Amino acid sequence: MMPIMAQGTQRRAGVPAEFASLPMRTVTSALAASVYARPAPQLARMAREGVLHRVARGYYVVVPAEHVGSGWIPTLEAAAAGIGAADFGPDHAILMGLSAARMHGALPRAIATAIVAVPRQRAAITIADRDSLVRFVVRHVDRLDVESMVTELGRATVTTPEQTVLDLARRPSLGGAPDEARAAAGVLLPRCDRQVLERLAIEQHMRATLIRLPTWAK
C-alpha cells in the first residue's frame, strides 16, 4: 500500500508521483485514500488547480502537463478505458464495439456511449464532464483479439479490426447507434484479414455472424 501523506507535507503543485504512474493515469477515490489522510479535499483541490480532471463520481485523470489550465478533457474512449483499467486492470478492460471502431478511425462522429468489455458485471457509469455514459459488457476478455493503442492518457487495450467487425455485426444496437455500427463495419471490413476473421468466428461461435457479414456491412 502507498504511504499516507501527512497534511502538512502535501504537494501544492502537480500531483503525487503515484498518481501519474497509474494505468491510464486514472485515480480513484479509494486509491487516493492510501496517499492522503483526507483524500476528498485534496482531490477537489487538485481538480480546481487543473492538474486533475474529474471524469466521473470517484474517478479523476491526471491532466497532461501541456494541458494544465487549458480546460482540457479526455476523449470519451480514453476516459472509459481509464475507468475500466482502474477497476479491472488495463489488460482486462477492453474498448470494443463502437468505441473500438472510433479508435480505429472507422467512426468519424463521436457518440454518447462508450463500450468496455470486462470480466465481471459492472453497472454503467455516467461521465461527469459531458452527457455520456460508459457501458460495461461481460466478456471472456482473455479470448478477445486485442491490440494496444495510444490515447492521451496512455496505452489502452482495444479489440482488433477483425474482432471489432464481428462484435459490431453481432450486436449492432449495442451503444444505441446501429446505423453507425453498420457504417463502421463497412469501413473496417476491407482492412480485415479473412483468415483471422474465420478463426475468431470459429473460436467465438460467431460463424453465422461471419456468413452474413459481407451483405450486412454494405
Q: Do 53 and 85 share a structural domain? A: no
* Mean residue pLDDT across the chain: 89
Q: Do 207 and 102 share a structural domain? A: yes
- Summarize the confidence of residues 8-22 as an average pLDDT: 66
pLDDT recorded at residue 211: 86
* pLDDT, tens digit (0-9, with 9 covering 90-100), for 148-186: 999 999 999 999 999 999 999 999 999 999 999 999 999
* Domain total of the chain: 2
Evaluate whether residue 2 is within a structural domain.
Answer: no
pLDDT recorded at residue 65: 87
Q: Do 98 and 40 share a structural domain? A: no
Evaluate whether residue 1 is within a structural domain.
Answer: no
Q: Do 167 and 111 share a structural domain? A: yes
Cβ–Cβ under 8 Å, residues 95 and 85: no
**Percent of the chain scoring above 70 in pLDDT:** 92
Torsion sign, CA atoms 180, 134, 153, 139: negative
Evaluate whether residue 192 is within a structural domain.
Answer: yes
pLDDT recorded at residue 11: 40
- Summarize the confidence of residues 47-70 as an average pLDDT: 93
* pLDDT, tens digit (0-9, with 9 covering 90-100), for 31-51: 888 888 888 999 999 999 999
**Percent of the chain scoring above 90 in pLDDT:** 75
Please tell me whether the overall predicted TM-score, pTM, comes out greater than 0.75 for this model. yes
Give the DSSP letter string of 11-56: -SSS--HHHHTSGGGEEEHHHHTTTBSSHHHHHHHHHHHTSEEEEE
Cβ–Cβ under 8 Å, residues 74 and 151: yes
